[in-house]
């Protein structure tokens, strides 16, 4: 097999269509979430470094907000140590907003692991998943993406075949929400919503976009308390007559669900708010 010197992969954002919090174990919140990747992605390019050097350069969206040892760098170092490979020079061209609940940091880490696995012909997916899970709650899922139900701290991933494509108007306020602060605010508020993931996952294959009425995120109230732009963005999204609206992850990105690309594009033209608006669709 010919040795590759450079590999490029796409690292996709994710949207949580539901997010239930089922309790706390060992200091971590236990989740049940219906999630899918969307066609908003960062591009990860890795080049072999036989001398063992590992470096990560980030360019584009939010690169200046990522300081210190990023998850992408930690992923590269963990990969090279685990598999005893040479090093790599990695460039990440970013498009996914930071602090938006779209899995930006986890997507980059998963993209680095996927790129290095291809670069060094590593096929041990079990070990790759173990490395990914140690880096963050969404990283293991984002190694493969697609429709899934994720549980526990995010390490339990159940793939869901046969799901429809959804078209989303993604609305990203200028300021984000820190995940740890959002969970802390959720605990402080003492809110408890009825779980919705099971029902949404059951209805979606048959109803398509109409099942968006069952989508809900237990962190929405906490995120709105931390970032006043979120409630306004959700209200503006509802004015566009979608099948449903919601917030992904711990915010601040919101979405409106449509059943066609044309309807989504029309909604973007009508949207008059201040959040950055982009049309995306779910991807397998």
Query: Are 250 and 218 a contacting pair, CB within 8 Å?
Result: no
**Composition of the chain by helix, strand, coil, percent to 5:** 35, 30, 30
Question: Which residues have CB under 8 Å from 46's CB, separation 6+?
Answer: 6, 7, 8, 76, 88, 89, 90, 112, 115, 116, 119
Query: Are 215 and 257 a contacting pair, CB within 8 Å?
Result: yes
Please state, in angstroms and as integers, the Cα–Cα distance from residue 245 to each residue in 68, 216, 240, 248, following that order.
35, 9, 10, 10
* Rounded CA separation 70/47 (Å): 18
Residues marked as catalytic = 14, 138
């Amino acid at each position: 097999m010919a040795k590759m010197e450079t590999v490029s992969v796409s690292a996709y954002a994710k949207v949580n269509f539901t997010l239930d919090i089922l309790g706390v174990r060992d200091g971590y919140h236990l989740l049940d979430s219906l999630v899918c990747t969307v066609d908003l992605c960062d591009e990860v390019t890795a080049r072999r470094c036989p001398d063992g050097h590992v470096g990560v350069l980030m360019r584009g969206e939010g690169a200046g907000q990522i300081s210190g040892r990023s998850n992408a760098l930690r992923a590269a170092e963990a990969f090279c140590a685990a598999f005893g490979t040479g090093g790599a020079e990695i460039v990440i061209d970013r498009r996914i907003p930071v602090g938006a609940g779209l899995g930006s940091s986890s997507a980059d880490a998963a993209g680095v692991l996927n790129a290095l696995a291809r670069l060094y012909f590593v096929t041990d997916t079990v070990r790759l998943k173990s490395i990914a899970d140690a880096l963050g709650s969404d990283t293991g899922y984002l190694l493969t993406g697609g429709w899934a139900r994720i549980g526990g701290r995010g390490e339990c991933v159940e793939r869901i075949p046969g799901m429809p494509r959804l078209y989303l108007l993604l609305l990203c306020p200028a300021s984000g929400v820190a995940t740890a602060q959002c969970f802390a605010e959720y605990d402080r508020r003492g809110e408890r919503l009825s779980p919705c993931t099971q029902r949404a996952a059951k209805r979606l294959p048959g109803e398509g976009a109409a099942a968006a009425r069952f989508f809900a995120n237990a962190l929405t109230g906490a995120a709105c308390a931390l970032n006043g732009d979120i409630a306004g963005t959700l209200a503006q999204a509802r004015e566009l007559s979608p099948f449903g609206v919601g917030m992904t992850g711990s915010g601040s990105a919101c979405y409106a669900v449509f059943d066609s690309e044309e309807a989504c594009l029309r909604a973007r033209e009508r949207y008059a708010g201040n959040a950055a608006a982009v049309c995306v669709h779910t991807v397998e």
